A and B are shown apart, each in its own frame.
Chain A
Amino acid sequence: MSDKKKPTDLSIWLGLSDNTFTRQKTVKFGDATAVNSGRFYSILAVVLLFAAWIIASVFNLVEPFFWPTIDGTWDRFIKLVTEGFRNVPLWEHVGISVYRVLSGVFFGTLVGVPLGFAMGLSPVGRGIFDPIVEFMRPIPPLALIPLIILWFGIDEFAKIFLLFLASLFIMTIAAWAGVSSVRISKVHAAYSLGASKFQILRHVILPNALPEIFTGLRTSMGVCWGTVVAAELVAANKGLGSMIMIAKNFLQTDTVVIGIIIIGLIGYAIEMLMRRLERWLIPWKGKG
């Protein structure tokens, strides 16, 4: 036994000491699995950023017009929670943005997955949708806003329709990729076990495509979250995007900063939630 001191659990957790697995490795530089979490430095980085903000606030180093003080921001946050922004409570701004994203992704999936399946399973489906999907794919959803305003105005339907389009093509391509990725031996095996075409679709092709569809769903959520905020910047009177845009007009930098922080946190939460769901719903991913 070596007489080296055993590191504590805390120092392993913080990433200051190697764990039992990486400790045995002599080659660490260049081996990504031997790079530990470095959590101590993550904490340090966040603490330093906050410290800088506190110091700047205490000594009035930055003009509040450019960046608010930390205590002023906190007060504003309490006010937004209790009184709301322009008579709309903060949670309603957050809620409406999330609702728009979920509706857009829901309808995009509802239409996109069958389209992707049609493209992967039938020459007619592929022929019809291939040029449309390939043409629409590189167009950023934001470029469609003017047209959608001309068609549907700026009401709720217009926003959800935009998000529907944003997720539609992602979901179509994801479902198509899922169908195309099925190993022919699985399909052959199912036919040899007496399955009908419909049963193969339902019991082989669909479950086989689920991991790809879920990856599409994750991408879709991310893209739609970005799109909803941008769309609300252009035309809306509720939602996080509109909140920060209107706050800008009143030179309320603190509200703008709070909005940006919430947008970041929710985007992060969506991604984490989707990863959890994926591990829970599709444990066989990548194991075929």
Chain B
Amino acid sequence: MAGIVIDGLSMVYTLPGGGDVHALNDVSLDIKQGEIVTVLGPSGCGKTTLLNIIAGFLSPTEGEIRLGDKPVTGPGAERGMVFQQGALFEWLTVEKNVAFGPRMAGKPAAETAEKVEYLLDIVGLQGFGEKPVYQLSGGMQQRVALARCLANDPDVILMDEPLGALDALTREKMQGLVLKLWKETGKTILLITHSVEEALILGERLIVMAPRPGRIEKEFRLPFPDEALVKPAREVKAGAQFVETREEILSMIWDMEEEIMGQSDEPQV
């Protein structure tokens, strides 16, 4: 188990017609083992690029990612990933989706079956093991995605807007599940979201990113995830501090969006 060190990360895309886009500019962040960190920002702030670099799908122009003291050079099983949608294997049943990682690693089938059953129980899908995943609702599919990721026992879980495609009510329920899994497994979690409320309720630390060039604008340390574990999330979300922080962040992002709209569409050179 280890935390993630993001060290001086820059990402420059060169456009086909000439000119560069700075998707990330000198981003550094130190995520400790067992922390749950949320990243928030307007579109184009480079948050998905950041996650893809940590996952090892992209190689940065400058800087590096370290897991413990090992530099990241490609994707690996110690960094699990939960996507927004459509990343389940629709040709497999629920339990075979969850068992995918251990099966690829050649773990004994009996041991894996036991683990799968345990995980399906935790995410609230007991009895759904033999269903094809396409018969499940969007919320249930994301439960499968969470279980599939946990089955591999990764050190770090990266989540790319995992609840973004769900309806509002399902989304709140799933936020509770993410918190519960974090508490019970002690995994390091980095979650990207568009929703300010979600970033607040799920982030011990909340990183606000700004666009053009993509950079870290501000960081908050928040008590809300711990509070939401002991009392109803709705109550936490209605609290004075929560509302105040939410408004502060919203106006911050609002200003960024205004600024972008004011600029020309020309990429920065």
Contacting pair A192 B86 (CB below 8 A): no
CB-CB contacts below 8 Å: B31-78 with A: 55-57, 74-77
Measured CB to CB, the closest approach of chain A to B167, in angstroms, equals 20
Closest to A282 in B: B91
Contact of A193 with B77 at beta-carbon distance under 8 Å, contacts A188-B83, A199-B104, A284-B132 already known: yes
Residues of B within 8 A of A210 (CB): 91
The residue on B at minimum CB distance from A200 is: B104
Chain A hits for B92, CB < 8 A? 207
Report yes or no: A189 in contact with B152, Cβ–Cβ below 8 A. Answer: no
Whose C-beta in chain B lies nearest to the C-beta of A188? B57
Asked if B134 CB lies within 8 Å of chain A CBs, one says yes
Residue B148 interfacial (CB < 8 Å): yes
- Cα A188 to Cα B51 in complex, Å, equals 12
For the complex, give the distance between the alpha carbons of A282 and B134 in Å.
Answer: 12
Q: B87: which A residues are within 8 A, CB to CB?
A: 183, 185-186, 188-189
Q: Which A residues touch B100, using CB under 8 A? A: 190, 193, 195, 203
- Interface secondary structure of A, over-half rule: helix
Shortest CB distance A190–B (Å): 7
A172 part of interface (Cβ distance < 8 Å)? no
Any chain A CB within 8 A of the CB of B242? Answer: no
CB distance from B177 to the nearest CB of A (A): 19
CB neighbours of B74 from chain A (8 A)? 191
Contact with B along A192-219 (1 / 0, CB 8 A): 1111100100011001101000000000
The answer to whether A194 and B105 touch across the interface, beta carbons within 8 angstroms, is yes
Q: Which residue of B is nearest A208, CB measured?
A: B91
CA A134 – CA B105 in complex, angstroms? 40
8 Å CB interface, A172-194 against B: 183, 185-186, 188-194
Q: Does A25 contact B (CB under 8 A)?
A: no
In the assembled complex, which residues on chain A have CB atoms less than 8 Å from the CB atom of B76?
192, 194
On chain B, the residues within 8 Å of A190 by CB distance are 100, 104
Minimum CB–CB distance for B111 against chain A, Å: 16
Contacts of B104 in A (CB 8 A): 190, 193-196, 199, 203
Confirm or deny: B227 has a beta carbon within 8 angstroms of a beta carbon on chain A. no
Docked complex Cα distance between A167 and B1 (Å): 53
- Give, as a whole number of angstroms, the nearest-CB distance from A126 to chain B: 20
Contact for B132 among A188, A204, A283, CB less than 8 A: A283
A23 proximal to B (CB < 8 A): no
Q: What are the residues of chain A within 8 A of B132 when measuring CB–CB?
A: 283-284
Residues on B with C-beta less than 8 A from A207 are: 89, 91-92
The 6 closest A-B pairs by CB, nearest first: A194-B77, A287-B134, A193-B101, A191-B75, A192-B81, A185-B87
Starting from the known contacts A189-B81, A192-B149, 6 additional A-B residue pairs (CB-CB under 8 Å) come to A185-B83, A188-B81, A207-B89, A284-B132, A287-B90, A288-B86
Listed A/B pairs (22) with beta-carbon separation below 8 Å = A183-B86, A186-B87, A188-B57, A188-B81, A188-B83, A189-B87, A190-B104, A191-B75, A192-B55, A192-B80, A192-B81, A192-B154, A193-B149, A194-B77, A194-B105, A194-B152, A196-B104, A204-B89, A208-B91, A287-B90, A288-B90, A288-B134
